[in-house]
Amino acid sequence: MPDDVAVDVVWYPVTRFYLRNPDFTSHIQVPVLMFAGESDNYHDCCLITTARSLAQGAAAAKAPFELVTYPGVDHDFIRGGMAYNESAYKDALAKTDAKLKAALSD
Protein backbone atom coordinates (compact mmCIF):
# COMPACT_ATOMS: atom_id res chain seq x y z
CA MET A 1 0.00 0.00 0.00
CA PRO A 2 2.67 2.55 -0.96
CA ASP A 3 -0.02 5.22 -1.57
CA ASP A 4 -1.17 4.93 2.05
CA VAL A 5 1.96 3.95 3.96
CA ALA A 6 5.16 6.01 4.01
CA VAL A 7 7.25 3.71 6.21
CA ASP A 8 6.80 0.55 8.25
CA VAL A 9 8.56 0.41 11.62
CA VAL A 10 8.45 -2.99 13.31
CA TRP A 11 9.77 -3.98 16.73
CA TYR A 12 10.62 -7.68 17.24
CA PRO A 13 7.93 -8.83 14.80
CA VAL A 14 6.86 -12.37 14.06
CA THR A 15 9.20 -13.54 11.30
CA ARG A 16 8.66 -17.30 11.07
CA PHE A 17 6.28 -16.82 8.11
CA TYR A 18 9.33 -15.90 6.03
CA LEU A 19 10.58 -19.48 6.15
CA ARG A 20 7.43 -20.54 4.26
CA ASN A 21 7.38 -17.49 1.96
CA PRO A 22 10.98 -16.56 1.08
CA ASP A 23 9.93 -14.34 -1.83
CA PHE A 24 8.13 -12.04 0.63
CA THR A 25 10.89 -9.43 0.47
CA SER A 26 10.46 -8.97 -3.28
CA HIS A 27 7.02 -7.48 -2.50
CA ILE A 28 8.25 -4.78 -0.11
CA GLN A 29 7.36 -1.40 -1.60
CA VAL A 30 7.79 1.00 1.33
CA PRO A 31 10.80 1.44 3.60
CA VAL A 32 10.87 -1.01 6.50
CA LEU A 33 12.82 -0.41 9.70
CA MET A 34 12.99 -3.52 11.86
CA PHE A 35 14.35 -3.85 15.39
CA ALA A 36 15.34 -7.26 16.76
CA GLY A 37 16.98 -8.52 19.91
CA GLU A 38 19.72 -11.00 19.15
CA SER A 39 18.71 -13.15 22.15
CA ASP A 40 15.01 -13.21 21.21
CA ASN A 41 13.64 -16.75 21.13
CA TYR A 42 10.09 -16.02 22.25
CA HIS A 43 8.03 -18.98 20.99
CA ASP A 44 10.47 -19.18 18.06
CA CYS A 45 8.50 -16.37 16.43
CA CYS A 46 11.22 -13.75 16.18
CA LEU A 47 14.55 -15.49 15.84
CA ILE A 48 17.52 -13.35 14.87
CA THR A 49 18.56 -15.86 12.22
CA THR A 50 15.22 -15.37 10.47
CA ALA A 51 15.44 -11.59 10.81
CA ARG A 52 18.87 -11.68 9.20
CA SER A 53 17.53 -13.90 6.42
CA LEU A 54 14.80 -11.34 5.81
CA ALA A 55 17.42 -8.60 5.57
CA GLN A 56 19.49 -10.66 3.14
CA GLY A 57 16.44 -11.40 1.01
CA ALA A 58 15.53 -7.72 0.97
CA ALA A 59 19.05 -6.77 -0.05
CA ALA A 60 18.97 -9.29 -2.89
CA ALA A 61 15.59 -7.92 -4.00
CA LYS A 62 16.86 -4.35 -3.60
CA ALA A 63 13.94 -3.74 -1.24
CA PRO A 64 14.08 -0.80 1.20
CA PHE A 65 14.67 -2.79 4.39
CA GLU A 66 16.86 -1.89 7.37
CA LEU A 67 17.51 -4.30 10.23
CA VAL A 68 18.82 -2.99 13.54
CA THR A 69 19.85 -5.66 16.03
CA TYR A 70 20.71 -5.48 19.70
CA PRO A 71 23.23 -8.00 21.10
CA GLY A 72 22.11 -9.72 24.30
CA VAL A 73 18.60 -8.24 24.05
CA ASP A 74 15.49 -10.42 24.30
CA HIS A 75 11.90 -10.12 23.05
CA ASP A 76 9.66 -7.30 24.31
CA PHE A 77 12.47 -4.93 25.24
CA ILE A 78 10.20 -1.88 25.53
CA ARG A 79 9.53 -0.02 28.77
CA GLY A 80 7.11 -2.18 30.74
CA GLY A 81 7.99 -5.21 28.62
CA MET A 82 9.04 -8.62 29.87
CA ALA A 83 12.68 -7.99 28.92
CA TYR A 84 12.97 -4.22 29.18
CA ASN A 85 16.36 -3.00 28.01
CA GLU A 86 16.76 0.73 28.48
CA SER A 87 19.55 1.33 25.99
CA ALA A 88 17.94 -0.76 23.20
CA TYR A 89 14.57 0.85 23.86
CA LYS A 90 15.94 4.39 23.75
CA ASP A 91 17.99 3.67 20.64
CA ALA A 92 15.00 2.13 18.85
CA LEU A 93 12.82 5.10 19.82
CA ALA A 94 15.40 7.55 18.47
CA LYS A 95 15.77 5.60 15.22
CA THR A 96 11.98 5.35 14.89
CA ASP A 97 11.66 9.11 15.38
CA ALA A 98 14.33 9.80 12.75
CA LYS A 99 12.78 7.37 10.24
CA LEU A 100 9.30 8.86 10.66
CA LYS A 101 10.61 12.41 10.32
CA ALA A 102 12.50 11.44 7.17
CA ALA A 103 9.40 9.78 5.72
CA LEU A 104 7.29 12.85 6.45
CA SER A 105 9.76 15.16 4.80
CA ASP A 106 9.82 13.17 1.53
SS (H, E, C) 25-90: HHHCCCCEEEEEECCCCHHHCCCHHHHHHHHHHHHHCCCCEEEEEECCCCCCCCCCCCCCCHHHHH
Whether residue 54 has pLDDT greater than 70: yes
46 vs 96 pLDDT, higher one? 96
Q: Identify the pLDDT of residue 1.
A: 66
Q: What is the pLDDT of residues 69-88, one digit of tens each?
A: 999 999 999 999 999 999 99
Q: What is the pLDDT of residues 30-41, one digit of tens each?
A: 999 999 999 998
Model confidence, pTM: 0.90
Q: Identify the pLDDT of residue 17.
A: 77
